[in-house]
Amino acid sequence: MKNAIKTIKLFVVSLFLIFTFTKCIKKTDAKVNVSATIEELGQMNRDFASALIAKDAQAAANLYDENASLLPPNKPIIRGRENINEYWQGAIDGGLIEASVKTIYAESDGDLGYEIGTFELKFQSENDSIIVDTGKYTEILKRNSEGKWISLYGMWSNNE
């Protein structure tokens, strides 16, 4: 009888240890929270500038989450990818000929990140003069299911 009780105790302790060990293994198998580099976080805006130069508002809008918001200077909030597409198409139709961005700082925590930087936009007016618009921006980014960083919220202001 004593051997049976010892065996049952040993069995229970063994089950406890196995259960505890498998819990530890499951925790270490979880997705590792890796911070993105400044280069990775800034890629969204570099792709965005390239899309504007290519006069492809849809490609620019696709760099935003479906429910993203733009907070442009002196305008109401623009919500949703379709409206964002229309906004940037308006900029292209308004004579946009060049766009560039420079990331100043970016950081992430898991699948959320932010980027701040500067921009320069050039527009050709109806009289063929070039209008240069410079300023700064902030993007709140998220990593989508494909691992690509896209914008949730974009806000900018002009230096002038």
Contact residues for 35 (Cβ-Cβ < 8 A; gap 6+): 107, 108, 109
> Cα(59)–Cα(24) distance, rounded to whole angstroms?
44
d(CA 82, CA 121): 22
Contacts of 157 (CB under 8 A, 6+ apart): 73, 135, 136
Confidence (pLDDT) at 2: 57
b/e 10-31 (16+ beta carbons within 10 angstroms → b): eeeeeeeeeeeeeeeeeeeeee
Domain ranges of the chain: 1-30, 38-158
Instruction: Write out pLDDT tens, residues 60-82.
Output: 999 999 999 999 999 999 999 99
103-149 tens-digit pLDDT: 999 999 999 999 999 999 999 999 999 999 999 999 999 999 999 99
Among 21-25, 53-57, 90-94, 114-118, the minimum mean pLDDT is found in 21-25
The C-alpha angle with vertex 70 and arms to 67 and 73, in degrees rounded to 5, equals 165
Other C-beta atoms closer than 10 Å to the C-beta of 43 total 19
Distance, in Å, from the CA atom of 68 to the CA atom of 79, rounded to the nearest integer, reads 6
Q: What does pTM read for this prediction? A: 0.77
Predicted local distance difference test score (pLDDT) of residue 34: 72
pLDDT over 80 (residue 6): no
Class of residue 139 by CB neighbours under 10 A (exposed 0-12, middle 13-18, buried 19+): buried
Write down the pLDDT at residue 27.
42
State whether CATH 3.20.20.140 applies to domain 38-158: no
